[in-house]
Every structure is written in C-alpha cells, then in structure tokens.
Chain A
Amino acid sequence: MKQRELVVVGGGPAGMAAALAARAAGVRDVLLLERDQHLGGILNQCIHPGFGLHHFKEELTGPEYADRFAALVKADPGIEVSLRSFVVKLTGDREITYLRPGAMEDIKAGAVILATGCRERTREMIPIPGSRPAGVFPAGLAQKMVNMEGWIPGREAVIVGSGDIGLIMARRMALEGVTVKAVIEIQKTSRGLVRNVVQCLEDFGIPLHFQHRITAIHGADRVERVGVIRVDADFKDIPGTAFEIACDTVLVSVGLIPENELLEMAGGLVDRRTNTPVADEVNLTSLPGIFACGNAAKVYDLADSVTRDSELAGRMAAKYLGAAV
C-alpha cells in the first residue's frame, strides 16, 4: 500500500488552507483529494461578493476567493491535487480508499485532514406537510443551478428560512427576473447577516415574515401555492392568521449538516445532534492523526473564518507528524 505523509479530503476553502498551512509548517508530501473537477468547493457557486474582507482585506466573490488559494495550491510542488477523486473508505489507522477516473486507489496516510464541508437540510427534515410536486429545491442546489448551470428554477418563488443562503438566493432569483413573493422565517430574527437582509431583501422589496411558518405545500405536478401561518413565541400556530401565497417554486434554506460519514466509518465519535466530531477542541477528532476542519468541524458564517481555523488544522497535523520547518 502506498504511503503518503498527509492526505486532505476536500478541496474547498478548508482543505486548501489546511494543505497550504501544513506545507508551510514543514510537511513535505500532501495529497489533496477533491471529488469535483475543480478546486474551490462550494465557493464556485457563491458568486456574490462578501468574501476575503478579513483574510485579504478586500472584498471578493466566492470564485475569486477560491482562485487565490487554488493558484497557491497548484504552484506548490509539495501538494499533489487529485481531482474527480471520491473517498469511499477511511479506517481508524488512516487507510484510505478512493475512486478516481479509471482507478480505485488504496493508500496509507501519516495524518488525515477531513475538510468535507456540509450538505443541506431538506424539506423532509423540517418537515413541511402537503403534496410532493416538482418545484421544491434546497436553496444551495438552486444556487448551483442558477449560477453554474444557467437554469432558472421557476417564475414565482417563496423562500423558507432567512439564513444567508436563503437571503442571497432571494436576491439572485430577483436579479434573474423571478418574482420572490416572500421569505418565511419561524424565528423572531434572521440567522443571516444583517447586511444580507438589507442588500438582498430591502433592495428588491422582498417581504420577510418573521414568526411565520409554512403549513403545507400544495400542487399536483408543480407547486401551486403554500399555506402560511403566524406562530407565537413557543412556535405554536396562532388561530386566524393563516394565509396562502401562490407560487410555482419553494426554496428551502433551513440549515446545513456537516458531512462526517468518513469519520464515523473510521470509528470516530460524531455528535448525533449537530453531526460534528466529538473532540476536546476545534479541528480535532476522537481519533489520533485524523483532523477535521471547516464546515465539517462546525458550521461557519464566513469563509474567512474557515480559512483561519483550517490553517490551524494544517499546523496541528504538521505537529502530529513531527514535521520540522
């Protein structure tokens, strides 16, 4: 079995920062595995500005932020990037099996950094009753469709959840000519950044309904309307406040779930409630030599914070490996 010093799983902002920091701290051999055909991870679909204000002291879009790191990674002879490479197995003693075009590889790593990010919570997890017509999308999936594939998911949309992804997609859809009828938020305030409420909703006159929830999605083949009701401080429905909104699309932006299936497979402890690694401090897992960083370790608000903490993970791995600068 081929031996590698450090293997980083995931080529988004976390994986790239961890790989570069590990190299700077003396690690000589880094293998960076990325399942997509490009580095950058979710930043590639985050085409809006707001990235880099802390790390680069200037405002960049997601792809620009990713490109700066990708250029450094590609220029580093000590980092081998393997694209279209999907890890299917990880063991507690750091044996890794991954698929790449035309081959299945088995390697043994001195240390592993898991930078696998998150997946989206879906309609089924809230859950929203009603029929199951076409036109209900997780907001991040819709973001990829609009920004990277050039498909517009519908004409009249309602957005469930006022986290940053929901707010940013409200603006994105409005710019693309979609009528965004409302953003529905069950809490009293938005979990998103205040600037996103201002520049994504107020700029486009999109109503934001706090303390409201979707009671049902209606439609035969395609979404036709949603039911909405006001809730009290205990999230109980307030009788007499129900109304309906006609729409053909519902975007669901109700949170992210860290992807830690590889860690679980290796026997690492994962918190059932948050799906994050159980460990003494950020970036560690319960398994020696296996680290986790970025949104796989905890869900961040800012990519800049992911970079900062993931650099720390790279240095922790270097220390574990006994690397000397």
Chain B
Amino acid sequence: MKRVMTCIECPQGCRLEIEADGSRVISVTGNKCKRGDKYARQETEAPLRTLTTSVLTRGLELKMLPVRTSKPIPKEKLLDAMRAVKTLVVTSPVKAGSVVAENFLGLGADLVACRPLDKL
C-alpha cells in the first residue's frame, strides 16, 4: 500500500511517499533529510505530536504560563491532555524548562514551562 504525506518536521514540508504493509513501513522516499524518514515511519506506526498550550497561574506576573510536553505524545491523547491541563494552576515562580507536571497522564512526558515567570 502506498501512502503520501507531508513531513511536518520543519518548514520545508517535504512530500513523502511511503510504501507500507499496514503499519509496517517498507520504504520512504521524497525526504530531503533523515528526519523525514523517521517522521514517515513514526507517523505510519503511531503518530506523535508535541502538545503546546497555556496553564492558568495565580499570583504570577502573567495570567497564563505557556507550556509544552517534554517530548511528543500520541496524537490521539491530545484532547485528553488538554482536559488534564485545565485542572492545573501554577502558583510558584518558574524558569524556562521547569517541570510543571511530571510524567503527565502517565505518558512518559513531563509538562514543562516555556518561559520564566516571577511572582506578581
């Protein structure tokens, strides 16, 4: 089975052609770098996405703290993760990279701060 997809690893957006047997990849062509090959295989086997969103704060200099998952999580877990983010409130000052929630949803990825925030 042949599949065509656009690589989302970088702004070039290579057009990838994937030869696969179900979710088992046989060959990848069209990628201009090795990240494209990795992306095509991952996307065919089990799509992953990095979640970025904002978390409510209390007593800090901005109302919302931008956060990201420390590594990509399964695509189908994105909306579950968003629901869990809504239950969080950050009340202590953070640095860029500070862990806001460890092993978020048991997915093996931490939720980390994307910027420093001080007390109000």
List residues of chain A with CB under 8 Å of any chain B CB. 37-38, 40, 44, 47-50, 53, 59, 61-64, 66-67, 146-150, 175-177, 193-195, 197-199, 203, 301-302
Contacts and interface: CB of A to CB of B under 8 A. Distances in A.
B75 A203 contact: yes
A303 to B, nearest CB: 11
Q: Which 9 A-B pairs have the closest CB atoms?
A: A194-B13, A63-B115, A195-B8, A47-B66, A63-B114, A63-B66, A198-B6, A67-B96, A199-B8
Contacts of A48: 52
B101 interface: no
Nearest to B10: A53
Interface string B19-56: 00000000000000000000000000000011111101
A147 B13 contact: no
Contact of A195 (B13, B50, B63, B82): B13
A149 B11 contact: no
A302 B7 CA distance: 17
Interface of B: 5-11, 13, 49-54, 56, 61-64, 66, 68, 75, 78-79, 82, 96, 114-116
Contact of A147 (B9, B50, B64, B75): B64
Given A67-B96, A149-B64, A177-B82, 11 more contacts: A47-B52, A47-B66, A47-B114, A148-B64, A149-B63, A175-B51, A175-B82, A193-B13, A197-B6, A198-B6, A198-B13
Contacts of B63: 148-150
Given A49-B50, A148-B64, A175-B79, A64 B7 contact: no
Contacts of B64: 147-150
A64 B114 contact: yes
Contacts of B66: 44, 47, 61-63, 147
11 contacts: A47-B52, A49-B68, A63-B114, A64-B115, A66-B115, A148-B64, A149-B63, A149-B64, A193-B11, A195-B13, A198-B13
Contacts of A61: 52, 66, 68, 114
B54 A47 contact: yes
A67 B66 CA distance: 12
A53 B49 CA distance: 17
Contacts of B68: 47, 49, 61, 64
A47 B53 contact: yes
B115 A44 contact: yes
Nearest to B56: A150
A195 B54 contact: no
A175 B8 contact: no
Contacts of B79: 175
Contacts of A37: 61
Contacts of A148: 54, 62-64
B54 A150 contact: yes
Contact of A64 (B49, B82, B96): B96
Nearest to B97: A64
A177 B86 CA distance: 11
A66 B66 CA distance: 12
A218 B114 CA distance: 39
B82 A176 contact: yes
B10 A194 contact: no
Nearest to B54: A147
B27 to A, nearest CB: 21
